[in-house]
Chains A and B, each alone.
Chain A
Amino acid sequence: MDSQVKGFEFRGNAKEWFGIWIVNLLLTIITIGIYSAWAKVRTKKYFYNNTYVEGRNFDYHATGKQILIGRLIVIAALVVFNLILAALPVIGLVLLLALLAALPWLLVRAMLFNARMSSFSNVRFNFVGKYGRAFVVFLLAPIGAYLLIAILGGGAAFAAETVGIAVAVILGLIAVVVLFLVFPVIDRMVKAFSINNHKLGVASFEMNVPVGPFVKAAIFASLWVVAVLVIGGVLIGGPLVAMFSDLEAGIEPGPAQMGLIGILYLLFFVAFLPAVFIYQAMIRNVIYNNTTLEGGHSFTSNVSAKSLLWIALSNMVVVICTLGLMLPWAQVRMAKYLADHTGLIPGADMDSFIGEQQEKVSALGDAYSDIEGLDVGLPI
């Protein structure tokens, strides 16, 4: 089985990418942001073009002009929206609700645009997700989950005062369990919506991951948080309590106390940041290892949370210390790591993908997701 796995390969290098990146930046600055549309295309093209599997690469086909038009419309709408919010607060609130309802539509348009502008081995991707489902996945489910937890929490507080502490504890525990289940369930809905609606030409992707592994990843990540906080509590809990009682007694904190607060911040950092990477690495692996592409193709992934965390952290330190100049190196390093730990098990031969004639689609949703910093890229 393993002998059939064809590894992904990232052929870009930091030197080459640095030249493209700095020219992107310079022209964007000179044109007060206008060139950023072309810079986006060159960035995507560079990373797509350099990603190979089975001797074939990806490509990105959007033009700078398309993206610029989308961005100009979104920026104009953003400015008008902010002015209305300042001038006519009531209408502004109605608009805010309208924007919320439009959010799933914009996300679907962004995914559609991005998919159709991307290709592998001369065949374009496509996206067939519909607004109705997106509305459920991106709006209804999160809002519903929030309400459910709020009601359970409120119910627990209410029960503590009226019925008795036992009922309150049970309701509180249910709230905690629901909280643990809800996040992985919604995350799975989002991933399934994205992957199952993507196509390479006419071939569909299918994610066969039940909710179990998502819950498992959330539990592992939480265990890390709890373990770190417990160990931290044992180590610095005593001095911390002493410090707070000092503060209440009105004693000014000295340098030792300041150091303690610093350690407290560090503790939260150590508790939560690795947890994010543990969750992401486990989810990435399980999704790749259980996703198929019509034609008998399947995928593999074996990233480790430890390596991802190390690369992300050391990248950040290097980038900050070099005032951003090593960013291209950092980006290439991450792309190489991800490609090296991703594989394809080809089914039928790679020559048999077939594309479809596609309608043109505007870059509106894409521009919106760029400006809001949302990530709707290919699930690769």
Chain B
Amino acid sequence: MSLLPHQVEGRAYPRLSSRQVAATLKHRAVMQSESEKPDDLFIDILDREGVVLGGAPLSQIEVDWPIGRQPRKLTLPDGTVFETDDHDAIGQIVGESNSTKLHRLEQFHPRLIAFVLACMVGVWVIYRYGLDILVAFAIWLTPPVLVAQIDKGTMATIDFQMAEASRLDANEQARVEDIFATLLPHIEDVPDGTNFQLLFRDMPGMGPNAFALPGGTVVMTDAFIRDFPDEDVLASVLGHEIGHVVERHGMRQLYRSLTVYILIALMAGDTGPFLEEILLEGNVLLSLSFSRAHERAADEFGVKLADRAGYDPAGLKIFFDEISKKFGEPPRWLSTHPGSKERAADIDGYIEALP
């Protein structure tokens, strides 16, 4: 106790006032009636004439977190504020706390180089593993009822905006439904609450296309069945869409983009405006690469499923060969899907790997 500085010079403000007066902080041992803590200090704030402006036991005083070289600030229970530039003296009197440890950590020191490296590693770890864990957790929290409702809601929007009832005749629909039904028993690890169903729609704007919704709804356009009536092609493309459902690609992309957006927004104050734009744009490009990875995974799934159900897995390759002949290739890094030629080549690899 006797090692503490006797007094600290500074400035004081009365409660709710900007009136600044030169002031001195003094301390003494606390009396039993003044505080429940026996080793507490009693702090008095006095002006230059020695008039007491305020006083309280240290345990009842709000001590501000120190930052940089800025004045330390003490707020008494009655609202009187004392501030001082004498960091050493006030530090000894108010003692160590988490906030002073934080303050020390922030001092300019070679240690900061290690912090920079740790930040880089941290960003990489979050990007590589942390996001997947957060997304898996969010998917685990999502009730299956909600996922089924997403299918219904999305179909309602699609029917309203761009789809007409299918014009295929009943026999043709039944044939494709049979293929779908043949595939289903061969799926391993179906997520809880998944309800597989195949819908046909006439969507003139979309050409030969098929897509899957997270709850298990698979939609195929009339143009697809007209252009690719071959059952091996149909089986492997349906298998591809089932792959999106089983591996939860839709939900993962939804949650991932939300999570990344929130993380970048939260750190934005620490990156600055221009950099935030760059990060958000970069995130869009990266999420495209993520989507391309999902397409490849679904290709592999489709090949395997078609093979297990007794179809020729090369059907998927026939499809991509046709597509690349018809439509050419968009720039790969700007696309949600890998190039058709590349996918056809990859499919050879998946077929070779089949048991």
Contacts and interface: CB of A to CB of B under 8 A. Distances in A.
Interface in B125-158: 126, 130, 134, 138, 142, 146, 149-150, 152-154, 156-157
Contacts of B1: none
Contact of B119 (A17, A29, A59): A29
Interface in B56-75: 65, 67-71, 73
B22 to A, nearest CB: 12
A319 to B, nearest CB: 6
B123 to A, nearest CB: 6
A353 B17 contact: yes
A122 B258 contact: no
A104 interface: no
Interface in B86-115: 102, 105-109, 112, 115
A378 interface: no
A120 interface: yes
B254 interface: yes
B268 to A, nearest CB: 6
8 contacts: A20-B68, A50-B70, A83-B142, A86-B254, A89-B153, A319-B272, A350-B20, A353-B17
Given A33-B262, A49-B68, A21 B18 contact: no
Contacts of A26: 115, 118-119, 122
A1 B254 CA distance: 60
A36 B18 contact: no
B271 interface: yes
Contact of B112 (A22, A40, A121): A22
Given A20-B106, A325-B116, A354 B272 contact: no
Given A23-B115, A49-B70, A33 B267 contact: yes
Q: Please list the 4 inter-chain residue pairs (A to B) with the smallest Cβ-Cβ separation, ordered nearest first.
A: A29-B122, A355-B16, A353-B18, A122-B13
A373 B116 contact: no
A90 B107 CA distance: 54
B272 A327 contact: yes
B242 interface: no
Contacts of B138: 79
A325 B138 CA distance: 33
Contact of B258 (A39, A79, A324, A350): A79
Contact of A46 (B19, B67, B122, B156): B67
Interface in A40-83: 40, 42-43, 45-46, 49-50, 56-57, 59, 71, 75, 78-79, 82-83
A24 interface: yes
B16 A371 contact: no
Interface string B1-36: 000000000000100111110000000000000000
Contact of B102 (A22, A23, A354, A373): A23
A162 interface: no
Contacts of A20: 67-68, 106
Contact of A19 (B108, B119, B122): B108
A353 B263 CA distance: 40
A352 B18 contact: yes
B275 to A, nearest CB: 6
A42 B258 contact: no
A90 B156 CA distance: 9
Interface residues of B, number: 56
A267 interface: no
A351 B68 contact: no
A49 B267 CA distance: 21
A82 B146 contact: no
A168 B262 CA distance: 47
Nearest to A122: B13
Interface of A: 12, 15-26, 28-30, 32-33, 36, 39-40, 42-43, 45-46, 49-50, 56-57, 59, 71, 75, 78-79, 82-83, 86-90, 92, 120-123, 201, 316, 319-320, 324-325, 327, 330-331, 350-357, 370-373
A353 B16 CA distance: 8
Contacts of B327: none
A370 B69 CA distance: 27
Contact of A123 (B16, B109, B112, B130): B16
Nearest to B13: A122
Contacts of B263: 32-33
A12 B106 CA distance: 14
Main SS class of interface, A: helix
A96 to B, nearest CB: 14
A351 B71 CA distance: 19
B126 A29 contact: yes
Contacts of B269: 36, 39-40, 43, 370
A372 B73 CA distance: 33
Q: Chain A CB within 10 Å — which of B19, B70, B109, B266 has the most? A: B266
A82 B251 CA distance: 12
Given A22-B116, A25-B119, A36-B267, A83 B146 contact: yes
Nearest to A45: B67
Contact of A82 (B16, B18, B69, B258): B258
Given A86-B154, A122-B13, A122-B17, A18 B267 contact: no
B206 interface: no
B67 A49 contact: yes
Contacts of B19: 351-352
Contacts of B20: 56, 121-122, 350-351
Interface in B265-322: 265-272, 274-276, 278
A356 B17 CA distance: 9
A371 B265 contact: yes
A42 B67 CA distance: 8
B237 interface: no
Contacts of B272: 319, 327, 330-331
Contacts of A82: 254, 258
Given A22-B112, A32-B134, A87-B146, 10 more contacts: A19-B109, A28-B266, A33-B266, A43-B270, A49-B71, A78-B262, A121-B18, A325-B116, A327-B275, A371-B266
Contacts of A316: 274
A42 B105 CA distance: 13
A122 B18 contact: yes
Nearest to A41: B65
A23 B126 contact: no
Given A86-B154, A89-B157, A121 B13 contact: yes
Contacts of B153: 86-89, 92
A237 to B, nearest CB: 29
